[in-house]
Structure 1
Amino acid sequence: MRVINLGSLNLDYSYRVPRFVRPGETMEADSFSLKAGGKGLNQSIAAAKAGLEVYQAGCVGPDSALLFEELEQNGVDTSLIQTGADATGHAIIQVTASGENSILIYGGANRTLTLEYINSVLAHFAPGDVLLLQNEINLVPEIILEADRRGLRIAFNAAPLTSDVKTYPLDKLSWLMVNEVEGEALTGETDHLAIIKQLRLSYPQTMPVLTVGAAGALAADSENIYTLSAYPLQPVDTTAAGDTFNGYFLSAVLADYPLPKALELGTAASALCVLNQGAAVSVPRREQVLAFMQENPPATLTAEVIPFPIRG
């Protein structure tokens, strides 16, 4: 079983700031760094570090050597990436002293995928393989439909959430991964349990997964909603926390972990991630995550099981 991530590949221009800059304000940053990023790249690295066989696809520009280097150093196959003339996608990231982030994205080459390229990529994979998607590229609905036609299982992280996501064929997904802002926009609910329940009701064939920052994560199967609280740590940089969770959570469910254990692995990995600055570089190795879990046993977490009488 292989994972193909048809996702975004960005150069991250990251600035440490005392606080987020206000409209009309010019403010000096405390420090600057240039690193590989993009939700696609981050999640590929997280999934590979978690032990999955991962292939990255997507489009980049001629200024993309750093991205290839970062992916290959972390065990991700890059042979399906297409290089063109458009500028590589990039992000401008502000990170405050408390670890909160504000991100401005320019799609660039990420938005130049064609149906011909998509079909050529998916042709390398077989029924039962997994497609991992985010919403930083173009033609997402077409990719979902083609992957479903080919028998691939699909994990979609609906980030960043755009107004047209509700029109995507989300009923074709195996997993739908959102944070609380995205979940609220998709369902109109603000309560975490109400969000996850509404997603399950709307897409009964799909497992919804909801990350809620310092409050932890939730997921629902055909019978129960599981809630797991987060580790009480002081974050340094939350930029890749969600991407790290998604990669590790996916590795766990594909290894047939019970759903609460999959939530635990994803939560522990994201906890370690936020202790370091940067995006892809902050994703921990699997052995680090397992050691962290051993040193911080599940007794420090709480799991809530709620009856949920839906058969997907």
Structure 2
Amino acid sequence: MTIYNLGSINADLSYALPHLVAPGETLAATDLRRGLGGKGANMSVAAARAAGRVLHIGAVGADGGWAVERMMEYGVDTRHIATVDAPTGHAIIMVDSHGENSIIIHRGANYAIPKDIVAQALSDASTGDILLLQNETLMQAEAARMAHDMGLRVIYAAAPFDAEAAREVIPHTDILVLNAIEMEQLLATTGMDLPKLGVGCVIVTEGRYGGRLHRAENGWAAERFETPKVEPVDTTGAGDTFTGYLAAGLDRGMPLQQAIRLASRAGALMVTRHGAADAIPDLKDLQDSGL
């Protein structure tokens, strides 16, 4: 089985700060780290490091060859990453002493992905494969519709939250993943409750408090799940790690709740590390951590 991921690829510039910058404030950083990021790349790397077979669909600029090579090193199939006439996407990440972050994103090549590349990539897909989506590229709705019609399982991480994108993608989604704030935004902007969304499975993450699973088959009752207790140093990429591990677990045939437990452990370990894609743990790291 294969996980197809239509997703962003960014160069991350991460600044360590004593606190997040307030309006009008100038603040000296205590550290600077450069690395691979973007929600899409993070999810692909996480799924690959969780022993999933992952094919990434995306784009970089002429300056992004290093990012493609880095993804290959982590086990991601990069045949459908195009080089386009736009700068590689990048993110400026501010991380405070408690591990909380604020992020500025420049879309760049992530919004210049060739329109025919999704169909080319999915031409080899089979019923039961997974399509993974998030909101840092274009063409999510078209890809979701195509994958749904082909019998793929569509997992949609509705982040960063975009009401219009959510309305277009959710009708073709099998599993919706979002955090508690994004869930509130979704219900407020659509005016719907869980049954009316039309998704059979909704997973809401709540950081250190774990999260909840809502399924149509269980009458939408909240099924709580926990996350291991750790001391966070950087929350960047934790949600992406959760989603990538979730997809890999399901792709490997795990029952949903078992895949969620695996993803929760990986997300917890991730917040004890600095960085994004380059810091995502693999299965051995997870085993050795004792979480």
TM range (shorter): over 0.9
Instruction: Specify the alignment match of 2:57 in structure 1.
Output: 57
Instruction: Specify the alignment match of 1:217 in structure 2.
Output: 211
CA distance in 2, matches of 1:147, 1:280: 26
Matched, 1:248 2:248: no
Deviations along 1:68-125, one digit per CA (max 9) or x if unpaired, are: 1221111111111000110011101000111001011111110112432222222232
Matched, 1:66 2:66: yes
Deviations along 1:185-241, one digit per CA (max 9) or x if unpaired, are: 01139xxxxxxx933x12344311111111112212321532112222110110011
Instruction: Specify the alignment match of 1:30 in structure 2.
Output: 30
SS of residue in 2 equivalent to 1:115: coil
- Deviation, structure 1 residue 62: 0.7
Instruction: Specify the alignment match of 1:258 in structure 2.
Output: 255
Alpha-carbon contact 1:49-1:74 (below 8 Å) kept: yes
Instruction: Specify the alignment match of 2:186 in structure 1.
Output: 186
Deviations along 1:234-256, one digit per CA (max 9) or x if unpaired, are: 10110011011111122223334
Instruction: Specify the alignment match of 1:198 in structure 2.
Output: 193
Matched, 1:287 2:284: yes
CA distance in 2, matches of 1:60, 1:172: 27
One-letter identity of the residue aligned with 1:136? E
CA distance in 2, matches of 1:268, 1:118: 32
CA distance in 2, matches of 1:68, 1:103: 22
CA distance in 1, matches of 2:177, 2:116: 27
Alpha-carbon contact 1:274-1:282 (below 8 Å) kept: no
Instruction: Specify the alignment match of 2:129 in structure 1.
Output: 129
- Deviation, structure 1 residue 152: 1.8
SS of residue in 2 equivalent to 1:188: helix
CA distance in 1, matches of 2:163, 2:171: 17
After superposition, residues 67-106 of structure 1 pair within 5 angstroms as 67-106=67-106
CA distance in 2, matches of 1:11, 1:35: 6
Q: TM-score, normalised by structure 2?
A: 0.93
Instruction: Specify the alignment match of 1:138 in structure 2.
Output: 138
Matched, 1:269 2:263: no
Larger mean CA deviation between 33-42 and 253-262 belongs to 253-262
CA distance in 1, matches of 2:38, 2:15: 16
CA distance in 1, matches of 2:10, 2:106: 9
SS of residue in 2 equivalent to 1:22: coil
Q: Count residues in correspondence.
A: 286
What residue ranges of structure 2 are gaps of 5+ in the alignment? none
Matched, 1:164 2:164: yes
**RMSD of aligned Cα (Å):** 1.8
Alpha-carbon contact 1:217-1:267 (below 8 Å) kept: no
One-letter identity of the residue aligned with 1:125? A
Deviations along 1:147-197, one digit per CA (max 9) or x if unpaired, are: 2222222111110011313421412111111011110101139xxxxxxx9
Q: TM-score, normalised by structure 1?
A: 0.87
CA distance in 2, matches of 1:253, 1:150: 18
Deviations along 1:258-283, one digit per CA (max 9) or x if unpaired, are: 33322211111011111110001221
CA distance in 1, matches of 2:240, 2:169: 22
SS of residue in 1 equivalent to 2:163: coil
- Deviation, structure 1 residue 12: 0.4
**Runs of at least 4 residues of structure 1 off by over 3 A?**
none
Matched, 1:232 2:226: no
Q: Larger relative CO (CA 8 A, sep 6+): 1 or 2?
A: 2
Alpha-carbon contact 2:130-2:154 (below 8 Å) kept: yes
One-letter identity of the residue aligned with 1:288? D
CA distance in 2, matches of 1:186, 1:55: 29
Instruction: Specify the alignment match of 1:44 in structure 2.
Output: 44
CA distance in 2, matches of 1:65, 1:51: 24
